[in-house]
A and B are shown apart, each in its own frame.
Chain A
Amino acid sequence: MQHIGKASISFDNTPYIQEYASIVGKKEGEGPLGKYFDEINEDSLFGGDNWEDAESRLIESTISKLLSKANMSSTDIDYILSGDLLGQLIASSFGLVNFNIPLFGLYGACSTFGEAVSLGSVLVASGAANRVIASASSHFASAEKTFRFPLGYGNQRKFSATWTTTGCGSVIISKDTGKVKITGITTGKIVDYGLKDKENMGACMAPAAADTIYNNLCDFGRNPSDYDKIFTGDLGYIGQTILIDLLREKGIDISDVHSDCGIEIFDINLQDTHAGGSGCGCSASTFCSYIMKQFEAGKFKRILLVPTGALLSPTSSNEGNSVPGIAHGVVFEAV
């Protein structure tokens, strides 16, 4: 394991994704990726009492699913790295309490899955842990309540608005051989182009994604074509256009290999999701379903996953701050 270039780490004794699991809500299940998820829960409350409880239950059942798919119990796991969008990470705290596994709670807004997999890989590659879980979740209703309006409020969404994914994706990262190997990470820095429009998150985050992808290509000495796909987290349609333009300015063309989890997870025409899906659970559940299944089917040799986060809070935007972005890149390769 060594630091290379500006912002990357390359793993020589690579950590592996040993198992993965994803659970999503009804709308995500009806989307184009529906058949790839482990479970689709029709009940938006997930059997809980309120939206926050619902998200905790979503996390708890995803981790349980993950452990049962891997034939493991919580004692086999050294650490969990998990995050969500709620204040003080309450969805993770209440969802993970029963597992009795040491926890690193992470907040990277919607980039959290990238952050969790990055740090989890470092823990495993350094020998500090044998097996860790990296996880991220979001819930449409708990996010709306925290960041936007009450569900019953008659608000007209702009075209640039995104739709928070109800979903959780979790992976076991292990030193033992698994389904996919993690060969490197590129950690994003905060990139702020001064945009204040929280109804256009894709545009707020695209510069951060461009920066991370650029650094990744430089640090590893690669071209976009060295990847079968570069998946960003939740830029949506507008963010995708901007990302491709920003990189083109630097002489890099990713238009042939770029995909966005937020674009993949919903059908914009049928599902009325405007610019696309968003939320920590968007990249996490897309990776832990569609992307992993493509690897298993031998369709991917190497991809770059770049979950993107918009670093705002209701307070910061009330106080007139801009919406800075961050994006964390992880390189996955077929075994």
Chain B
Amino acid sequence: MDEKEYESYVKKVTPTTSLAKNMFMAFLAGGIICLIGQVLINLFIKMGLEKETAINYETLILVFSAILLTGLNVYQKLAKHGGAGTLVPITGFANSVGSCAIEFKKEGQVFGIGCKIFTIAGPVILYGLFSSSLLGFIYWIYTLFSH
């Protein structure tokens, strides 16, 4: 059996969980988190905040709640069922930051928490910044000619 044959054989004998079920759970979890976000935004707007400010407060609360639930050992239990539904929202980003900080605290403030807090969040920030700056550069060239 060569490598390709073995890989396809392994794929055949490896049971997978139902994609439809996982997608439904992701839909439910992600939908609910976004719904909570919308409820918060509308609430803050009703309280008289500007839309931008309302969104900022909403983000703040979602991030805070996700990290609190991570510390209380709840977020990971939700994620077990929610899958992408808990990974994709900003709360998933917050969970990655919080869980790394908590896990590596025993390795010290600087080399433990300080370095490892970025283990999963770092790439997200780096590549988000890099691609937006690259596209920003293109946009800058465009502005030079359009004026």
Contact = CB atoms under 8 A, between A and B. Distances in A.
B10 A242 contact: yes
B71 interface: yes
B interface, by DSSP: helix, strand, loop or mixed? helix
Given A193-B6, A194-B7, A195-B7, A153 B76 contact: yes
Interface in B96-120: 96, 98-100, 102-104, 106, 119-120
B21 to A, nearest CB: 12
B120 A203 contact: no
B118 to A, nearest CB: 12
Interface of B: 1, 3, 6-7, 9-10, 13-17, 22, 70-71, 73, 75-76, 78-80, 82-83, 86-87, 92, 95-96, 98-100, 102-104, 106, 119-120
Q: Which of B6, B14, B22, B119 has the most CB of A within 10 A?
A: B14
Given A155-B79, A159-B15, 5 more contacts: A153-B100, A157-B80, A158-B16, A203-B10, A245-B13
14 contacts: A150-B104, A152-B73, A152-B102, A153-B76, A153-B100, A154-B75, A154-B95, A156-B22, A158-B16, A159-B16, A194-B6, A195-B3, A200-B14, A242-B10
Given A152-B70, A153-B99, A194-B6, A238 B13 contact: yes
A99 B35 CA distance: 59
A145 B103 contact: yes
Nearest to A160: B14
Interface of A: 49-51, 145, 149-160, 193-195, 197, 200, 203, 207, 238, 241-242, 245, 249
A89 B117 CA distance: 25
Contacts of B80: 154, 156-157
Contact of A150 (B22, B83, B103): B103
A151 B76 CA distance: 8
A152 B86 CA distance: 13
A153 B86 CA distance: 11
A193 B76 CA distance: 34
Contacts of A50: 106
A319 B80 CA distance: 28
Contacts of B95: 152-154
**Which 10 residue pairs across A and B have the least CB separation, nearest first?**
A154-B79, A152-B99, A150-B103, A194-B3, A50-B106, A150-B99, A153-B99, A203-B10, A156-B83, A193-B6
Contact of B14 (A49, A145, A153, A203): A203
A159 B17 contact: yes
Given A152-B70, A153-B95, A203-B10, A193 B3 contact: yes
A153 B7 contact: no
Contact of A154 (B10, B78, B103, B106): B78
B98 A238 contact: no
B13 A154 contact: no
Nearest to B17: A159
B32 to A, nearest CB: 15
A155 B79 CA distance: 6
Given A150-B104, A152-B70, A193-B6, A242 B79 contact: no
Contacts of A156: 22, 79-80, 82-83
